[in-house]
């Protein structure tokens, strides 16, 4: 991880906060050509191949069947996540409401039109899509809850809380939280 991605919250290096991952999601509600266009937009934005998301249950009113691909998402980590996140925050005007932050240090916000993102050009063939952005902040040591061998729980005091997440966004990314 780069130094621009972490800030010192305390003298202990295990208390430093970093960006764990950034997830970009476009939900279109149906499969077919429109889903392929959404995949192309995410691929152009992130330089990674997006994966489809399937419907969990059938909804007859909307014509959705269980197991049908209705959305697409891409997960970004490391320096690529930080670079894309800065562009996404510029699209939001470097301002986020307090309601975007949850108690576990995550931040989520939406972008109405993908063409608002700096460096993105409008293509009449693909159209305009909105997307959801989720940012997970974590500290060193979170791997113990995800590893295969000797998996363990993370202590309550080690989680990133809302105030620490807001402080990270203000200091490390220069975001105004209102």
| Pairing of the two strands 95-96 and 69-76 | unpaired
Per-residue pLDDT, 99: 92
Take residue 93 and report the two structure tokens written for it: 């005007």
Are the C-beta atoms of 2 and 79 separated by less than 8 Å?
yes
Per-residue pLDDT, 5: 54
pLDDT tens per residue across all 178 residues of the chain? 454 455 555 688 888 999 999 999 998 888 888 889 999 999 988 889 999 998 888 888 888 888 888 899 999 998 999 999 999 999 988 999 999 999 988 999 999 988 888 888 888 888 889 999 999 999 998 889 999 999 999 888 899 999 999 999 998 889 999 9
CA–CA dist 23, 72 (Å, integer): 11
Per-residue pLDDT, 6: 54
**Which domains are present in the chain?**
3-177 (3.30.1440.10)
Per-residue pLDDT, 49: 94
Reported residue count of the chain is: 178
DSSP string of 115-171, one letter each residue = GGSTT----TTT----EEEEEEEE-TTGGGGT-STT--PPPGGGS--HHHHHHHHHH
- Predicted structure pTM score: 0.84
Give residues with Cβ within 8 angstroms of 147, minimum separation 6. Answer: none
- How many other C-beta atoms can be found within 10 angstroms of the C-beta atom of residue 96? 22
CA–CA dist 122, 124 (Å, integer): 6
């Amino acid at each position: 991880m780069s130094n621009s991605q972490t800030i010192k919250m305390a003298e202990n290096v295990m208390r430093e906060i970093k960006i764990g991952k950034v997830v970009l999601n476009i939900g279109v509600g149906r499969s077919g050509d429109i889903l392929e266009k959404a995949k192309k937009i995410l691929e152009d934005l992130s330089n990674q191949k997006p994966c489809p998301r399937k419907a969990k249950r059938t909804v007859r009113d909307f014509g959705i069947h269980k197991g049908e691909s209705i959305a697409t998402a891409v997960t970004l980590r490391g320096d690529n996540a930080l670079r894309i996140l800065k562009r996404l925050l510029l699209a939001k005007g470097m301002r986020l409401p307090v309601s975007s932050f949850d108690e576990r240090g995550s931040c989520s916000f939406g972008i109405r039109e993908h063409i608002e993102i700096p460096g993105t050009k409008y293509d009449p063939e693909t159209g305009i899509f909105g997307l959801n952005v989720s940012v997970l902040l974590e500290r060193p040591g979170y791997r113990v809850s995800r590893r295969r061998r000797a998996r363990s729980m993370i202590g309550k005091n080690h989680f990133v809380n809302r105030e620490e997440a807001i402080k990270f966004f203000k200091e490390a990314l220069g975001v105004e939280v209102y």
